[in-house]
Amino acid sequence: MGSGGPVNLGDAEGFELFRDEWGVPHLRAGDASALAYAQGRVTALDRAWQIEVERHRMLGSSAALLGAEAVGWDRFARQARLADTARRCYEALDAPTRAWVGAYVDGVNDGLAQPGERAPEFARAGAAPGRWEPWTPLGVWLSTHVLFAGFPGKLWRDEVVRRLGADAVELFATDGPGTSGSNGWLVAGEDRTLIAGDPHRFIEDPGVYQQIRLACPEFDVVGLAVPGVPGIGHFGHTGGVAWAITNAMADYQDLYRERLRRTGEGGVEALGPDGWRPAHAHREDGVEVVETERGVVVIGGPDDGEGISLRQPARVHADLGFAALPGLLRARTVGDVDRAFDRWAEPVNVVLAADTEGGLLHRVAGTVPVRDPENMLRVVPAWEERYAWRGRYAPMPRADIGADGVAVMANERSLAAPLGIEFAPPHRARRIAALLAGQVTWDADGMAAVHTDTELASARPLLRLVEELDGLDDDAARLRASLLNWDRRMAAGSVRAAAYARVRSGVVRRLAAHPHLAPLTGLMPAYPEVFRPWLALVPRVAFGLENLLATDRIPYEERLAAVRAALQEVAAEATGTTWGELHRLAPWQALADPGAEWPGLDGDHDCVLSTSSVPGVTDLSARGPAARYVWDLARRDDSRWIVPFGASGVPGTPHHRDQLPLWLRGELAPVTTDFDRLTKENPVPEKPDAPDATDAAAAATVHEQYVEGLGTFRLAPVDPAGDDIDVLHGWVREERATFWGMTGIGRDDVRDIYAHMAGLDTHHAFLVRLDGTPVALFQTYEPEADRVSECYEVRDGDVGVHLLVAPAGGAGAVRGFTGALVGVLTSYAFDGLGRKRIVAEPDARNEKAIALFSRVGFELAGEIVLPEVKLPEVHLVEKRAQLAFYTR
> What is the C-alpha radius of gyration for the chain, rounded to an integer number of angstroms?
30
Stretch 468-484: mean pLDDT, rounded?
Answer: 96
Question: Is residue 9 over pLDDT 60?
Answer: no
What is d(CA 65, CA 163) in angstroms, rounded to the nearest whole number? Answer: 40
Q: Residues 6 or more apart from 69 whose CB is under 8 A from it?
A: 63
Give the pLDDT of residue 728: 83
pLDDT category, 470, cuts 50, 70, 90?
A: very high
Stretch 603-632: mean pLDDT, rounded?
Answer: 96
What is d(CA 93, CA 797) in angstroms, rounded to the nearest whole number? Answer: 30
Each residue's pLDDT tens digit, 166-179: 888 888 866 444 44
Each residue's pLDDT tens digit, 532-565: 989 999 999 999 999 999 988 899 999 999 999 9
Q: Partners of 287 in the beta sheet?
A: 284
| Percentage of residues in the chain having pLDDT higher than 70 | 91
Question: Is residue 873 over pLDDT 60?
Answer: no
**Which SS3 state, helix, strand or coil, does residue 747 take?**
helix
**Which SS3 state, helix, strand or coil, does residue 829 take?**
helix
Each residue's pLDDT tens digit, 754-770: 888 888 888 899 999 88
What is d(CA 466, CA 814) in angstroms, rounded to the nearest whole number? Answer: 70
Residue 572: its H or E element: helix 556-573
What is d(CA 748, CA 726) in angstroms, rounded to the nearest whole number? Answer: 10
Question: Is residue 6 over pLDDT 50?
Answer: no
Give the pLDDT of residue 709: 63
Task: Give CA angle at 429 (459, 335), nearest 5°.
Answer: 165
Task: Give CA angle at 222 (99, 91), nearest 5°.
Answer: 20
pLDDT category, 438, cuts 50, 70, 90?
A: confident
Each residue's pLDDT tens digit, 857-871: 788 888 888 755 444
Give the pLDDT of residue 875: 38
Give the pLDDT of residue 3: 36
Question: Is residue 653 over pLDDT 80?
Answer: yes
Stretch 569-581: mean pLDDT, rounded?
Answer: 93
Give the pLDDT of residue 262: 96
* Residue 578 amino acid letter: T
Give the pLDDT of residue 592: 80
Q: pLDDT higher for 293 or 286?
A: 293
Orientation angle between helical segments 495-512 and 474-484, nearest 10 degrees? 110
Stretch 228-246: mean pLDDT, rounded?
Answer: 97
| Percentage of residues in the chain having pLDDT higher than 90 | 65
Relative to beta strand 669-670, strand 640-642 is: antiparallel
What is d(CA 54, CA 59) in angstroms, rounded to the nearest whole number? Answer: 9
End-to-end CA distance of the chain: 24
What is d(CA 417, CA 688) in angstroms, rounded to the nearest whole number? Answer: 56
**Of 845, 794, 796, 849, which Cα lies nearest the Cα of 821?**
849
Read off the pTM: 0.78
Q: pLDDT higher for 462 or 807?
A: 462
**Of 195, 49, 20, 111, which Cα lies nearest the Cα of 659?**
20
Stretch 584-611: mean pLDDT, rounded?
Answer: 91
Give the pLDDT of residue 322: 98
Task: Give CA angle at 238 (232, 239), nearest 5°.
Answer: 155
Each residue's pLDDT tens digit, 48-105: 999 999 999 999 999 888 888 899 999 999 999 999 999 999 999 999 999 999 999 9
* Residue 825 amino acid letter: L
What is d(CA 476, CA 566) in angstroms, rounded to the nearest whole number? Answer: 10
What is d(CA 681, CA 264) in angstroms, rounded to the nearest whole number? Answer: 65
Question: Is residue 250 over pLDDT 70?
Answer: yes
**Of 794, 597, 627, 773, which Cα lies nearest the Cα of 688?**
773
Q: pLDDT higher for 758 or 598?
A: 598
Stretch 13-26: mean pLDDT, rounded?
Answer: 92
Q: Which of 89-93, 483-487, 577-581, 691-695 has the weakest average pLDDT?
A: 691-695
Q: Where are the beta strands (DSSP E) in 356-489?
A: 360-365, 380-381, 406-409
Q: Is the peptide bond before 347 cis (omega within 30 degrees of 0)?
A: yes
Each residue's pLDDT tens digit, 365-418: 999 999 999 999 999 999 999 999 999 998 999 999 989 999 999 999 999 999
Each residue's pLDDT tens digit, 124-147: 888 889 999 999 999 999 999 999
Give the pLDDT of residue 212: 98
Give the pLDDT of residue 178: 41
Give the pLDDT of residue 117: 54
Provide the residue count of the chain: 888
| CA distances for 71 relative to 60, 529, 869, angstroms | 8, 9, 43
User: Which residue segments constitute the domains of the chain, with CATH numbers given?
Assistant: 15-144 (1.10.439.10), 153-161+179-249+322-373+393-453+624-677 (3.60.20.10), 254-311 (2.30.120.10), 459-488+495-577 (1.10.1400.10), 695-887 (3.40.630.30)
Residue 450: its H or E element: helix 448-451
What is d(CA 538, CA 471) in angstroms, rounded to the nearest whole number? Answer: 29
Q: Partners of 215 in the beta sheet?
A: 28, 220
Kindly report the backbone phi and psi dihedral angles of residue 439, in degrees, each rounded to the nearest multiple of 5, phi listed first.
Answer: -145, 140
Q: In 10 A of CB 653, how many CB atoms?
A: 16
pLDDT category, 814, cuts 50, 70, 90?
A: low
Q: Partners of 237 in the beta sheet?
A: 222, 242
* Residue 483 amino acid letter: L
Question: Is residue 233 over pLDDT 60?
Answer: yes
Q: Which of 6-15, 60-69, 247-256 has the weakest average pLDDT?
A: 6-15
Question: Is residue 495 over pLDDT 50?
Answer: yes
DSSP 250-318: ----EEEEEEEEE-TTS-EEEEETTEEEEEEEEEETTEEEEE-SS-EEEEEEGGGTEEEEEE-HHHHHT
Give the pLDDT of residue 224: 98
Contact between 563 and 466 under an 8 Å Cβ cutoff? The reply is: yes
**Mean model confidence pLDDT for the chain:** 89
Q: pLDDT higher for 481 or 683?
A: 481
Q: pLDDT higher for 448 or 264?
A: 448
As a 3-state breakdown, the chain gives helix, strand, coil percent values, each rounded to 5, of: 35, 25, 40
| Helix residue ranges, H only, 135-251 | 136-145, 153-164
